[in-house]
Structure 1
Amino acid sequence: MRHRPLKNQPLSLQTDGRLSLFPVGCGAAFSQTLGNNNWLVLKGETSLLIDCGPKTPPRLRDCMVDPTDIGYFLVTHSHADHIGGLEEVMLRSRYIAHKKPALILEDDYRDTLWHESLRGGCAYNEVVDNRFLELEDFWQIERPCKRADLPRNAGELDLGTLNIKLIRTNHLPEQARTWQEAAYSVGILIDERIFFSGDTKFDPELLAELDQRFDLEAIFHDAQGFTGGLHASVEELSSLDKGLRSRVWLMHYGDDWYKHTAMIEWAGFAGFAAEYTYLDFD
């Protein structure tokens, strides 16, 4: 994996065919200095934005990218730092860009996302055929196919030459002991090479199974500085096998991340993922 800082140039939504990840932000939900932990996945002419918090549309424009030009959107779960910018994308797409971007969406999450989060700000802007707007008026819905042979009944979808698999995670509520008890939340397996955790409690069994099946090149994992609550902690992640830990890049971290640099190096993690930096995979 190679790192390329964006520097003073427009962010490109295309690559020469290789897989590239671009963190628009790496910050935890309450970070004041970092962007929302929302990432672009780029391969050839395919562009996929994983999550879209309220800070992400203006950050994309700072990179000289109109969010409505992104080909695909994927939501891992319904916390505001992951969906708070979707309403802007929806309204700009319909009323300014006059296009319908693609939203990757599993059927069992559709009603939760629309009725409990997005409907109030989007449905009542106009009446079409004697009805208010629906989610499908804003998005072209792309539905993953179920893969019962993979961990947690994964959903799979090909986007051009890019393959993604949605893997259920145990993020919330805090009291949920297993992913079956938890509200909808997913991590993303990218081209069977990279695992992007989304938000999740510490789940070493899932990481071990995915690594055994796919021999992962890199894991981008959310990490908090204390143990407990809704996220994996650095202390918990430090208990992973050394070989696995050396491929873990930490994301979704707090404003005080730099205070933990020495400990992260001592524990043998790959490091902290950096905002506004291309991560290229040959």
Structure 2
Amino acid sequence: MIELMMLGTGSGFSRKYYNNNALFNLNGYKLLVDCGHTAHRSLNDLGMSWHSAIDGILITHIHADHVGGLEEVALDGKYKYNKKVDLYIAQDLVMPLWNNCLQGGVCDPLHNDLSDFFNVKAQDEKPFQINGIQLALIHTEHVPGKKSYSVLIDDLFFSSDAQFDEKLIVSMNEKTRMLFHDCVLDKSPIHASIDELLTLPYDIQEKIWIMHYSDHLEEYKRNNDMGKLKILQQHKQYLLKN
């Protein structure tokens, strides 16, 4: 079974929507894909908290809307709940996450390593398993010079943050049933835009659910053709596989 609830579907600087973070249920294992600075507020709105709702976290890259909530997980896990969650992360993101994002906020003389706060499960781009479900990290281009990954979960593609890459999307279309893709409503050098996604054939558009959109999405919908693209909604439960 695979279920999905988006804790948020907004762009990094959205005021209307929470950060684009995805809570997957993988045969009963609760995997949060990215944990941004609004993740805990979103969970609270749902009557949930990280220590009871999340078994593991997968990090795709180290922008604040994707890792800003990890400090709370680290500190509360260590000092309040005596709990470490699994942390799935590309091997080449382990040190940047610790050195550039978490060390200054959570380390002390006795705890000065990411593994002091998480069960670190560093990955390369080979497939791995979580509770009987196969996943794989896919290196994708986002901000030049900074590592970023999309993730393949069974036969589902989740872009996280990525530039438009038609070759990759076509390849993923051949392997997957659904594609969850970030989408800005204006042209961007670091995200796929709706205009770019609308250049894809209809049979591919029909598989795409857009996320990471800006606050004027509803206004945009009223005034523009969105082709066959679907809109992923935050706090809605989606059953993706029985």
TM-score, scaled to structure 1: 0.81
- Higher mean C-alpha displacement, 60-69 vs 48-57: 60-69
Give 3-state SS (helix, strand or coil) of 1:143's partner: strand
Structure 2 counterpart of 1:171: 142
The Cα of 1:260 is off from its aligned counterpart by: 2.1
Residue 220 of structure 1 corresponds to 180
Residue 121 of structure 2 is aligned to residue 162 of structure 1: no
Q: Classify the secondary structure of the residue corresponding to 2:107.
A: helix
**How far does the alpha carbon of each residue in 1:57-108 deviate from its partner, in whole angstroms, 9 at most, with x for none?**
1211222222123111011111111111110111011111101111002221
The answer to whether residue 239 in structure 2 is matched with residue 256 in structure 1 is no
The reply on whether 1:111 has 2:95 as its aligned counterpart is yes
Paired residue type of 1:26:
T
- Residue 229 (structure 1) shift: 2.2
1:86 to 67, 70, 86: 70
Could you say which residue in structure 2 is the equivalent of 1:61? 44
Offset, 1:165: 0.8
Residue of structure 1 equivalent to 2:115: 136
2:17 paired residue among 28, 31, 34: 34
Percent identity of equivalent pairs: 31
- Name the structure 2 match of 1:239: 199
Quote the Cα distance in structure 2 between the aligned partners of 1:272 and 1:210. 19
Conserved in 2, the CA contact under 8 Å of 1:26 and 1:35?
yes
> 72, 90, 98: which is aligned to 2:56?
72
Instruction: State the distance in 2 between where 1:171 and 1:266 align.
Output: 23
Distance 1:210 1:257, change over 3 A: same
Residues 139 and 147, structure 2, Cα contact 8 Å, conserved in 1:
yes
Distance (whole Å) between structure 1 residues aligned to residue 226 and residue 196 of structure 2: 15
Q: Which runs of 5+ in 2 are unaligned?
A: none
Corresponding residue of 1:13: none
Secondary structure of 2:151 counterpart: strand
Q: Distance in 2 between matches of 1:77 and 1:28?
A: 15
Equivalent residues, number:
240
Q: Quote the residue 1:189 is aligned against.
A: 152
Residue 97 of structure 1: SS of its match in structure 2? coil
Question: Which structure has the larger Rg?
Answer: 1
In the TM superposition, what is the alpha-carbon distance from 1:43 to its structure 2 partner? 2.3
Q: Is 2:11–2:214's contact at 8 Å kept on the other side of the alignment?
A: yes
2: CA distance, partners of 1:109 / 1:266: 35
Residue 204 and residue 91 in structure 1: after superposition, are their counterparts in 2 closer, same or farther (change >3 A)?
same
What is residue 277 of structure 1 aligned with on the other side?
Answer: 236
In structure 1, how many angstroms separate the alpha carbons of the residues matched to 2:3 and 2:48?
16
> CA offset at residue 280 of structure 1?
0.6
CA shift, 1:161, in A, is 1.7
The one-letter code sitting in structure 2 at the alignment partner of 1:46 is Y
Q: In 1, distance between residues paired with 2:90 and 2:217?
A: 34
Other-structure match for 2:162: 200
Work out whether residues 46 and 162 of structure 1, in 8 Å CA contact, stay in contact via their aligned partners in 2. no
Q: 1:202 to 1:122 in 2, by over 3 A?
A: same
Q: How high is the TM-score relative to the length of structure 2?
A: 0.94
RMSD: 1.5
Deviation at 1:266?
Answer: 4.5
Structure 1 counterpart of 2:51, one-letter code: T
What is the SS of the residue equivalent to 1:31?
coil
* Structure 1 gaps, min length 5: 1-17, 147-153, 174-181
Kindly tell me: are residues 265 and 279 of structure 1, through their superposed partners in 2, closer, same or farther at Cα, counting changes over 3 Å?
farther
Conserved 8 A contact 2:26-2:130: no
